[in-house]
Amino acid sequence: MMTIKDVAKIAGVSVATVSRVINESGYVNIDTRKKVEAAIRQSNYSPNEVARSLYKRKSKLIGLLLPDITNPFFPQLARGIEDYMQENGYRIIFGNSDENADKELDYIRTFVQNNVVGVISSTNFPDSGAYLEMNIPVVFLDRTSNDSPSVYADGRKGGRLAAQEMVARGSSRITIIQGPAHVKPAQDRFQGAAEALAEMGISYNVIQTSSFSYTEAGQWATELFERFLDTDGVIASNDIVASAVLREAHRLGKTVPEDVQIIGFDDIPLSSLMSPSLSTIRQPARDMGSAAARLLIQLIEQDQVEDKIIQLPVSFIERETTRSRMETSKKG
Ligand code: RIB
Protein backbone atom coordinates (compact mmCIF):
# COMPACT_ATOMS: atom_id res chain seq x y z
CA MET A 1 0.00 0.00 0.00
CA MET A 2 1.34 3.45 -0.90
CA THR A 3 2.16 5.67 2.07
CA ILE A 4 2.52 9.42 2.53
CA LYS A 5 6.30 8.90 2.35
CA ASP A 6 5.97 7.39 -1.11
CA VAL A 7 3.91 10.36 -2.28
CA ALA A 8 6.49 12.77 -0.83
CA LYS A 9 9.28 10.92 -2.64
CA ILE A 10 7.45 10.99 -5.98
CA ALA A 11 6.63 14.69 -5.61
CA GLY A 12 10.13 15.54 -4.36
CA VAL A 13 8.80 17.31 -1.25
CA SER A 14 8.71 16.68 2.51
CA VAL A 15 6.09 14.54 4.23
CA ALA A 16 4.97 17.67 6.08
CA THR A 17 4.23 19.39 2.77
CA VAL A 18 2.17 16.44 1.55
CA SER A 19 0.34 16.48 4.87
CA ARG A 20 -0.46 20.19 4.52
CA VAL A 21 -1.88 19.59 1.06
CA ILE A 22 -3.99 16.60 2.17
CA ASN A 23 -5.34 18.37 5.25
CA GLU A 24 -5.71 21.76 3.53
CA SER A 25 -3.91 23.40 6.40
CA GLY A 26 -1.10 25.86 6.12
CA TYR A 27 0.76 27.59 3.35
CA VAL A 28 1.76 25.61 0.24
CA ASN A 29 2.65 27.49 -2.95
CA ILE A 30 0.62 26.62 -6.00
CA ASP A 31 3.39 24.82 -7.95
CA THR A 32 4.22 22.55 -5.01
CA ARG A 33 0.53 21.84 -4.46
CA LYS A 34 0.17 20.73 -8.11
CA LYS A 35 3.20 18.41 -7.82
CA VAL A 36 1.79 16.77 -4.69
CA GLU A 37 -1.66 16.33 -6.22
CA ALA A 38 -0.11 14.74 -9.32
CA ALA A 39 1.92 12.36 -7.12
CA ILE A 40 -1.21 11.37 -5.18
CA ARG A 41 -3.03 10.59 -8.41
CA GLN A 42 -0.03 8.74 -9.83
CA SER A 43 0.43 6.62 -6.67
CA ASN A 44 -3.27 6.11 -6.07
CA TYR A 45 -2.62 7.03 -2.42
CA SER A 46 -5.55 7.36 0.01
CA PRO A 47 -4.80 9.01 3.36
CA ASN A 48 -5.50 7.22 6.59
CA GLU A 49 -8.83 8.68 7.59
CA VAL A 50 -8.16 8.34 11.32
CA ALA A 51 -4.90 10.25 11.05
CA ARG A 52 -6.59 12.78 8.82
CA SER A 53 -9.46 13.37 11.21
CA LEU A 54 -7.01 13.78 14.09
CA TYR A 55 -4.91 16.20 12.09
CA LYS A 56 -7.95 18.18 11.01
CA ARG A 57 -8.86 18.77 14.65
CA LYS A 58 -9.17 22.53 14.87
CA SER A 59 -6.60 24.30 17.02
CA LYS A 60 -7.73 27.29 19.07
CA LEU A 61 -4.63 29.33 18.26
CA ILE A 62 -4.77 32.86 16.82
CA GLY A 63 -1.87 34.76 15.26
CA LEU A 64 -1.54 38.45 16.19
CA LEU A 65 0.82 40.81 14.34
CA LEU A 66 1.34 44.42 15.49
CA PRO A 67 3.88 46.99 14.23
CA ASP A 68 5.60 47.88 17.53
CA ILE A 69 4.40 47.32 21.09
CA THR A 70 6.86 49.89 22.45
CA ASN A 71 4.23 52.37 21.20
CA PRO A 72 1.60 52.33 24.01
CA PHE A 73 -1.26 52.43 21.49
CA PHE A 74 -0.68 48.84 20.37
CA PRO A 75 -0.78 47.13 23.79
CA GLN A 76 -4.23 48.68 24.18
CA LEU A 77 -5.30 46.96 20.97
CA ALA A 78 -3.71 43.70 22.12
CA ARG A 79 -5.46 43.85 25.49
CA GLY A 80 -8.86 44.17 23.86
CA ILE A 81 -8.07 41.21 21.56
CA GLU A 82 -6.65 38.96 24.26
CA ASP A 83 -9.47 39.56 26.75
CA TYR A 84 -12.08 38.60 24.15
CA MET A 85 -10.11 35.60 22.85
CA GLN A 86 -9.58 34.26 26.38
CA GLU A 87 -13.32 34.50 27.11
CA ASN A 88 -13.97 32.38 24.02
CA GLY A 89 -11.31 29.72 24.63
CA TYR A 90 -8.73 30.93 22.10
CA ARG A 91 -5.05 31.59 22.73
CA ILE A 92 -2.63 33.96 20.95
CA ILE A 93 0.77 33.73 19.28
CA PHE A 94 2.12 37.30 19.02
CA GLY A 95 4.75 39.03 16.86
CA ASN A 96 6.11 42.57 16.32
CA SER A 97 6.48 43.22 12.59
CA ASP A 98 8.51 46.45 13.05
CA GLU A 99 6.77 47.47 9.79
CA ASN A 100 9.25 45.15 8.02
CA ALA A 101 7.72 43.08 5.19
CA ASP A 102 10.25 40.22 5.55
CA LYS A 103 9.75 39.98 9.31
CA GLU A 104 5.98 40.07 8.79
CA LEU A 105 6.21 37.21 6.24
CA ASP A 106 8.38 35.21 8.65
CA TYR A 107 5.70 35.54 11.33
CA ILE A 108 2.95 34.56 8.87
CA ARG A 109 4.90 31.38 8.12
CA THR A 110 5.33 30.75 11.87
CA PHE A 111 1.58 31.15 12.38
CA VAL A 112 0.88 28.64 9.58
CA GLN A 113 3.39 26.13 10.93
CA ASN A 114 1.65 26.36 14.30
CA ASN A 115 -1.76 25.71 12.72
CA VAL A 116 -3.39 28.96 13.79
CA VAL A 117 -7.04 29.11 12.74
CA GLY A 118 -7.10 32.87 12.20
CA VAL A 119 -4.92 36.00 12.16
CA ILE A 120 -5.37 39.61 13.30
CA SER A 121 -2.84 42.02 11.79
CA SER A 122 -2.17 45.77 11.96
CA THR A 123 -0.05 46.03 8.83
CA ASN A 124 1.21 48.43 6.18
CA PHE A 125 0.98 45.50 3.72
CA PRO A 126 -2.66 44.30 3.91
CA ASP A 127 -2.68 43.41 0.21
CA SER A 128 0.29 41.03 0.54
CA GLY A 129 -0.38 37.71 -1.17
CA ALA A 130 0.86 35.89 1.94
CA TYR A 131 -2.39 36.73 3.74
CA LEU A 132 -4.47 35.30 0.89
CA GLU A 133 -2.35 32.14 0.57
CA MET A 134 -2.87 31.24 4.23
CA ASN A 135 -6.41 30.03 3.41
CA ILE A 136 -7.60 31.01 6.91
CA PRO A 137 -9.62 34.03 8.10
CA VAL A 138 -7.68 37.30 8.55
CA VAL A 139 -8.94 40.52 10.15
CA PHE A 140 -6.98 43.72 9.56
CA LEU A 141 -6.97 46.10 12.52
CA ASP A 142 -6.29 49.86 12.64
CA ARG A 143 -4.09 49.69 9.50
CA THR A 144 -6.50 47.98 7.14
CA SER A 145 -7.42 47.00 3.62
CA ASN A 146 -10.49 48.40 1.81
CA ASP A 147 -11.79 45.01 0.65
CA SER A 148 -10.91 42.62 3.50
CA PRO A 149 -12.42 42.11 6.97
CA SER A 150 -11.25 45.18 8.91
CA VAL A 151 -11.72 47.14 12.13
CA TYR A 152 -10.49 50.72 12.37
CA ALA A 153 -11.28 54.12 13.92
CA ASP A 154 -12.62 57.10 11.98
CA GLY A 155 -9.30 58.90 11.48
CA ARG A 156 -10.64 61.50 9.07
CA LYS A 157 -13.29 62.55 11.58
CA GLY A 158 -10.55 62.65 14.23
CA GLY A 159 -8.49 65.07 12.19
CA ARG A 160 -11.52 67.27 11.59
CA LEU A 161 -12.35 67.27 15.31
CA ALA A 162 -8.81 68.31 16.25
CA ALA A 163 -8.91 71.23 13.82
CA GLN A 164 -12.36 72.39 14.89
CA GLU A 165 -11.56 72.20 18.63
CA MET A 166 -8.23 74.01 18.10
CA VAL A 167 -9.88 76.89 16.21
CA ALA A 168 -12.82 77.06 18.62
CA ARG A 169 -10.27 77.70 21.39
CA GLY A 170 -8.66 80.61 19.59
CA SER A 171 -5.65 79.27 17.65
CA SER A 172 -5.07 80.78 14.20
CA ARG A 173 -1.39 80.06 13.44
CA ILE A 174 -1.79 76.29 13.33
CA THR A 175 0.77 73.61 12.44
CA ILE A 176 -0.27 70.05 11.57
CA ILE A 177 2.33 67.35 12.20
CA GLN A 178 1.64 64.81 9.42
CA GLY A 179 2.25 61.17 10.34
CA PRO A 180 4.27 58.70 8.19
CA ALA A 181 3.19 58.61 4.53
CA HIS A 182 3.09 54.78 4.55
CA VAL A 183 0.58 54.62 7.42
CA LYS A 184 -3.01 54.95 6.17
CA PRO A 185 -4.60 56.06 9.50
CA ALA A 186 -2.01 58.86 9.69
CA GLN A 187 -3.00 60.15 6.26
CA ASP A 188 -6.70 59.92 7.03
CA ARG A 189 -6.37 62.13 10.12
CA PHE A 190 -4.08 64.59 8.31
CA GLN A 191 -6.59 64.92 5.45
CA GLY A 192 -9.39 65.46 7.97
CA ALA A 193 -7.56 68.27 9.76
CA ALA A 194 -6.43 69.92 6.51
CA GLU A 195 -9.88 69.89 4.94
CA ALA A 196 -11.54 71.24 8.11
CA LEU A 197 -9.06 74.15 8.32
CA ALA A 198 -9.53 74.86 4.61
CA GLU A 199 -13.32 74.91 5.07
CA MET A 200 -12.81 77.47 7.88
CA GLY A 201 -10.54 79.54 5.63
CA ILE A 202 -7.57 79.07 7.93
CA SER A 203 -4.10 78.53 6.45
CA TYR A 204 -1.78 76.13 8.25
CA ASN A 205 1.80 74.85 8.26
CA VAL A 206 2.80 71.18 7.90
CA ILE A 207 5.67 69.22 9.43
CA GLN A 208 6.05 65.89 7.61
CA THR A 209 7.34 62.96 9.68
CA SER A 210 8.46 59.42 8.86
CA SER A 211 7.72 57.64 12.14
CA PHE A 212 5.49 57.59 15.21
CA SER A 213 8.17 56.38 17.61
CA TYR A 214 9.80 57.88 20.68
CA THR A 215 13.26 57.87 19.05
CA GLU A 216 12.41 60.50 16.44
CA ALA A 217 9.63 62.43 18.22
CA GLY A 218 12.10 64.95 19.64
CA GLN A 219 13.47 65.84 16.22
CA TRP A 220 9.98 66.55 14.82
CA ALA A 221 9.29 68.89 17.77
CA THR A 222 12.61 70.69 17.29
CA GLU A 223 11.96 71.10 13.55
CA LEU A 224 8.46 72.44 14.22
CA PHE A 225 9.59 75.37 16.41
CA GLU A 226 12.70 76.03 14.30
CA ARG A 227 10.49 76.51 11.25
CA PHE A 228 7.30 77.88 12.85
CA LEU A 229 8.32 79.45 16.17
CA ASP A 230 5.17 81.56 16.41
CA THR A 231 2.70 78.70 15.92
CA ASP A 232 -0.10 78.94 18.47
CA GLY A 233 -1.72 75.57 17.86
CA VAL A 234 -0.18 72.14 17.11
CA ILE A 235 -2.23 69.20 15.83
CA ALA A 236 0.14 66.28 16.46
CA SER A 237 0.20 62.97 14.55
CA ASN A 238 -0.03 60.94 17.78
CA ASP A 239 0.32 61.36 21.55
CA ILE A 240 4.02 60.43 21.60
CA VAL A 241 4.85 63.26 19.17
CA ALA A 242 2.51 65.59 21.09
CA SER A 243 4.46 64.89 24.30
CA ALA A 244 7.71 65.85 22.52
CA VAL A 245 6.08 69.10 21.29
CA LEU A 246 5.01 69.90 24.87
CA ARG A 247 8.55 69.33 26.14
CA GLU A 248 10.09 71.51 23.42
CA ALA A 249 7.54 74.29 24.00
CA HIS A 250 8.47 74.37 27.69
CA ARG A 251 12.20 74.29 26.83
CA LEU A 252 11.66 77.38 24.67
CA GLY A 253 9.92 79.15 27.55
CA LYS A 254 6.45 78.94 26.03
CA THR A 255 3.41 78.39 28.23
CA VAL A 256 0.85 75.73 27.31
CA PRO A 257 -1.98 76.32 26.49
CA GLU A 258 -1.68 80.12 26.78
CA ASP A 259 1.07 80.59 24.14
CA VAL A 260 0.47 77.40 22.17
CA GLN A 261 -2.25 74.77 22.33
CA ILE A 262 -1.48 71.09 21.63
CA ILE A 263 -3.83 68.27 20.61
CA GLY A 264 -2.54 64.70 20.30
CA PHE A 265 -4.03 61.53 18.74
CA ASP A 266 -4.67 58.08 20.29
CA ASP A 267 -5.27 58.89 24.00
CA ILE A 268 -2.64 56.45 25.32
CA PRO A 269 -2.84 55.97 29.12
CA LEU A 270 0.14 58.25 29.82
CA SER A 271 -1.57 61.25 28.19
CA SER A 272 -3.75 61.85 31.24
CA LEU A 273 -0.65 61.77 33.52
CA MET A 274 1.41 64.37 31.60
CA SER A 275 1.76 67.87 33.10
CA PRO A 276 -0.18 69.65 31.74
CA SER A 277 -2.32 66.65 30.80
CA LEU A 278 -2.72 66.17 27.06
CA SER A 279 -5.86 67.07 25.17
CA THR A 280 -6.18 64.49 22.42
CA ILE A 281 -8.36 62.58 19.98
CA ARG A 282 -9.23 59.24 21.49
CA GLN A 283 -9.12 56.08 19.40
CA PRO A 284 -11.11 53.39 21.34
CA ALA A 285 -8.17 50.98 21.10
CA ARG A 286 -9.42 48.28 23.46
CA ASP A 287 -12.86 48.33 21.83
CA MET A 288 -11.15 48.12 18.42
CA GLY A 289 -9.22 45.07 19.62
CA SER A 290 -12.25 43.27 21.00
CA ALA A 291 -14.28 44.09 17.87
CA ALA A 292 -11.50 42.56 15.73
CA ALA A 293 -11.43 39.45 17.94
CA ARG A 294 -15.24 39.11 17.75
CA LEU A 295 -15.20 39.46 13.96
CA LEU A 296 -12.40 36.90 13.56
CA ILE A 297 -14.20 34.32 15.70
CA GLN A 298 -17.35 34.88 13.64
CA LEU A 299 -15.36 34.27 10.46
CA ILE A 300 -13.82 31.10 11.95
CA GLU A 301 -17.00 29.61 13.40
CA GLN A 302 -19.74 30.82 11.05
CA ASP A 303 -20.27 30.64 7.29
CA GLN A 304 -22.08 33.92 6.83
CA VAL A 305 -20.89 37.16 8.52
CA GLU A 306 -22.81 40.36 7.77
CA ASP A 307 -20.56 43.28 8.74
CA LYS A 308 -16.94 42.65 7.80
CA ILE A 309 -15.80 46.30 7.70
CA ILE A 310 -16.23 47.91 11.15
CA GLN A 311 -15.44 51.58 11.78
CA LEU A 312 -15.49 52.83 15.38
CA PRO A 313 -16.02 56.50 16.36
CA VAL A 314 -13.32 58.75 17.84
CA SER A 315 -13.81 61.54 20.40
CA PHE A 316 -12.10 64.74 21.59
CA ILE A 317 -10.70 64.38 25.12
CA GLU A 318 -10.34 67.87 26.61
CA ARG A 319 -7.54 68.17 29.15
CA GLU A 320 -5.00 70.89 29.97
CA THR A 321 -3.05 71.52 26.73
CA THR A 322 -6.01 73.36 25.22
CA ARG A 323 -7.80 76.43 26.48
CA SER A 324 -11.42 76.01 27.50
CA ARG A 325 -13.94 77.53 25.10
CA MET A 326 -15.00 79.83 27.99
CA GLU A 327 -11.42 81.30 28.11
CA THR A 328 -11.49 82.04 24.39
CA SER A 329 -14.78 83.92 24.60
CA LYS A 330 -13.24 86.10 27.40
CA LYS A 331 -10.25 86.80 25.13
CA GLY A 332 -12.77 88.24 22.64
O1 RIB B 1 0.65 55.90 17.61
C2 RIB B 1 0.70 54.88 16.64
C3 RIB B 1 -0.24 55.17 15.53
O4 RIB B 1 -0.14 54.11 14.58
C5 RIB B 1 -1.68 55.24 15.99
O6 RIB B 1 -2.22 56.52 15.77
C7 RIB B 1 -2.39 54.14 15.26
O8 RIB B 1 -3.41 54.62 14.39
C9 RIB B 1 -1.32 53.36 14.55
O10 RIB B 1 -1.65 53.08 13.21
| Substitution candidate for ligand 1 out of 238, 268, 278 with most atoms within 8 A of CB | 238
Asked if 96 and 241 sit in the same domain, the reply is no
Q: Is 76's C-beta closer than 6 angstroms to any atom of ligand 1? A: no
Q: What is the pLDDT of residues 121-135, one digit of tens each?
A: 999 999 999 998 999
Does some domain include residue 264?
Answer: yes
* pLDDT exceeds 50 at position 332: no
Asked if 189 and 43 sit in the same domain, the reply is no
Does some domain include residue 52?
Answer: no
Ligand 1: centre distance to CA 292 (Å): 16
Q: What is the pLDDT of residues 229-238, one digit of tens each?
A: 999 999 999 9
Contact 214, 70 (CB under 8 A): yes
Ligand 1: centre distance to CA 327 (Å): 31
Asked if 273 and 179 sit in the same domain, the reply is yes
Q: Is 209's C-beta closer than 6 angstroms to any atom of ligand 1? A: no
Does some domain include residue 55?
Answer: no
Does some domain include residue 88?
Answer: yes
Asked if 92 and 162 sit in the same domain, the reply is no
Does some domain include residue 53?
Answer: no
Asked if 320 and 177 sit in the same domain, the reply is yes
Does some domain include residue 24?
Answer: yes
Ligand 1: centre distance to CA 291 (Å): 17
Asked if 254 and 168 sit in the same domain, the reply is yes
> How high does pLDDT run on average in the chain?
92
* pLDDT exceeds 70 at position 164: yes
Asked if 302 and 240 sit in the same domain, the reply is no
Asked if 120 and 201 sit in the same domain, the reply is no
Report the nearest-CA residue for atom 1 of ligand 1. 238
| Substitution candidate for ligand 1 out of 68, 178, 214, 265 with most atoms within 8 A of CB | 265
Could you tell me which residues come within 8 angstroms of residue 262 by beta carbon, excluding any fewer than 6 positions away? 233, 234, 236, 242, 245, 246, 249, 256, 278, 279, 321, 322
Here the CATH number for the domain that contains residue 164 is: 3.40.50.2300
Ligand 1: centre distance to CA 264 (Å): 11
Ligand 1: centre distance to CA 159 (Å): 13
Q: Is 123's C-beta closer than 6 angstroms to any atom of ligand 1? A: no
* pLDDT exceeds 50 at position 141: yes
Report the nearest-CA residue for atom 8 of ligand 1. 185
Which of 29, 5, 32 lies closest to 112 in space, CA to CA? 29
Q: Is 243 exposed, middle or buried (0-12, 13-18, 19+ CB in 10 A)?
A: buried
Asked if 126 and 162 sit in the same domain, the reply is no
Q: Is 264's C-beta closer than 6 angstroms to any atom of ligand 1? A: no
Asked if 65 and 182 sit in the same domain, the reply is no
Which of 243, 219, 245, 223 lies closest to 232 in space, CA to CA? 245
pLDDT of residue 50: 47
Ligand 1: centre distance to CA 5 (Å): 48
Q: What is the pLDDT of residues 170-193, one digit of tens each?
A: 999 999 999 999 999 999 999 999
Does some domain include residue 279?
Answer: yes
Domain count of the chain? 3
Domain membership of residue 9 as a residue range: 4-47
3-class SS letters over the chain: CCCHHHHHHHHCCCHHHHHHHHHCCCCCCHHHHHHHHHHHHHHCCCCCHHHHHHHCCCCCEEEEEECCCCCCHHHHHHHHHHHHHHHCCCEEEEEECCCCHHHHHHHHHHHHHCCCCEEEECCCCCCCHHHHHCCCCEEEECCCCCCCCEEEECHHHHHHHHHHHHHHCCCCCEEEEECCCCCHHHHHHHHHHHHHHHHCCCCEEEEECCCCCHHHHHHHHHHHHHHCCCCCEEECCCHHHHHHHHHHHHHCCCCCCCCCEEEEEECCHHHHHCCCCCEEEECCHHHHHHHHHHHHHHHHHCCCCCCCEEEECCEEECCCCCCCHHHHHHHC
Asked if 233 and 322 sit in the same domain, the reply is yes
Q: Is 266's C-beta closer than 6 angstroms to any atom of ligand 1? A: yes
Asked if 129 and 167 sit in the same domain, the reply is no
